[in-house]
């Protein structure tokens, strides 16, 4: 009976920034660690695994907070902010079913909005900056970690991510925060920001959760047609094959990259980038040693 009651417990929904900060401080006064899982909603089992990781990371009593907020500053105007999937009621049901989430933070907006007119950012304009005027203009840049990889084609993405995560940290004041390694560069950017800016937060990286057929779980998968979803399986297949090649003794980065590109293009994919990089610094490698 107790387990059933815990599983059905509804998390407290908090929308106000000051109320969220006060909630965390009360939990800490009760002797609990505050563990934080930031999300953009439309939750799936990958997100729920982050909650499990948050509970496991705490040495003692823990209060888990999940945020649901689609951050406009990480989207360029040509990207899918307007069509990002959303199901808030469904998200709350999933979080309640875990029995592990104490609060859900879902602010209406985390930015100061200005008047009419377009802002300027050297050509790298996010959806947020369309507000212009006296709007938000303070940004966090993790200058080296955000370069290359996804940063090449999404010049405002990591600036937006680092800034909103810093804002969320200042509001939630967590002791622990969990991020998925599916967005690997993003996780490394956050780790470096926390180190450099002296946030007293332990950052946990949680492993990728995949569907039975190997596709990495993602909220955006709902937009894929059956044909597109089948083609998307080539991503994991190409990485598994590349790892096998490396374990068999081929340590030439360009050959590994060429093999991945070939697999993706044969499946009908359009390749943005393929790189072989060091795990922490993300520095490109021409040759490497793979440890099984």
Predicted local confidence at residue 60, as pLDDT: 95
Predicted local confidence at residue 6, as pLDDT: 46
User: Cβ–Cβ contacts within 10 Å for residue 253, how many?
Assistant: 18
pLDDT digits (tens, 9 = 90+) for 221-237: 999 999 999 999 999 99
Please check whether residue 31 is in contact with residue 2, taking contact to mean a CB–CB distance below 8 angstroms.
Answer: no
Predicted model pTM? 0.91
Give me the residues of the chain with pLDDT under 50, please.
Answer: 1-7, 116-122
Cβ-in-10-Å burial (0-12, 13-18, 19+) of 31 comes to: exposed
CA 130, 131, 133, 135 dihedral sign is negative
Predicted local confidence at residue 292, as pLDDT: 53
**Residues known to be catalytic:** 47
Phi, psi values for residue 252, rounded to 5°:
-90, 110
Phi, psi values for residue 49, rounded to 5°:
-65, -30
Q: Which two tokens stand for residue 224?
A: 């894929």
Nearest to 40 by CA among 63, 12, 11, 74: 74
Q: Which two tokens stand for residue 260?
A: 């991945």
Q: Which two tokens stand for residue 254?
A: 């360009």
Predicted local confidence at residue 134, as pLDDT: 75
């Amino acid at each position: 009976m107790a387990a059933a009651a815990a599983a059905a417990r509804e998390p407290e929904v908090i929308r106000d920034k000051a109320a969220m900060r006060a909630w965390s401080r009360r939990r800490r006064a009760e002797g609990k660690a505050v563990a934080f899982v930031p999300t953009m909603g439309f939750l799936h089992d990958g997100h729920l695994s982050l909650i499990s990781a948050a509970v496991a990371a705490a040495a003692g009593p823990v209060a888990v907070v999940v945020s649901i907020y689609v951050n406009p500053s990480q989207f360029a105007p040509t990207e899918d902010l307007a069509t990002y999937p959303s199901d808030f009621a469904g998200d709350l049901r999933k979080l309640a079913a875990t029995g592990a989430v104490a609060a859900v933070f879902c602010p209406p907006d985390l930015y100061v909005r200005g008047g009419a007119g377009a802002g300027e950012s050297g050509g790298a304009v996010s959806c947020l900056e369309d507000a212009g005027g006296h709007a938000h203009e303070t940004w966090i840049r993790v200058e080296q970690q955000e370069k290359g990889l996804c940063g090449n084609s999404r010049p405002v993405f990591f600036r937006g991510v680092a800034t909103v995560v810093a804002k969320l940290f200042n509001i939630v004041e967590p002791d622990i925060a969990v991020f998925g390694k599916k967005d690997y560069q993003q996780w490394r950017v956050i780790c470096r920001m926390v180190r450099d800016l002296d946030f007293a937060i332990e950052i946990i990286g949680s492993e990728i959760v995949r569907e039975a057929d190997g596709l990495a779980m993602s909220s955006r998968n709902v937009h894929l047609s059956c044909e597109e979803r089948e083609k998307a399986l080539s991503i994991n297949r190409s990485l598994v094959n590349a790892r096998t090649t490396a374990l068999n003794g081929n340590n030439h980065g360009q050959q590994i990259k060429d093999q991945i590109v070939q697999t993706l293009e044969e499946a009908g994919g359009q390749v943005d980038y393929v790189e072989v990089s060091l795990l922490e610094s993300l520095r490109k490698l021409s040759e490497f040693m793979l440890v099984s």
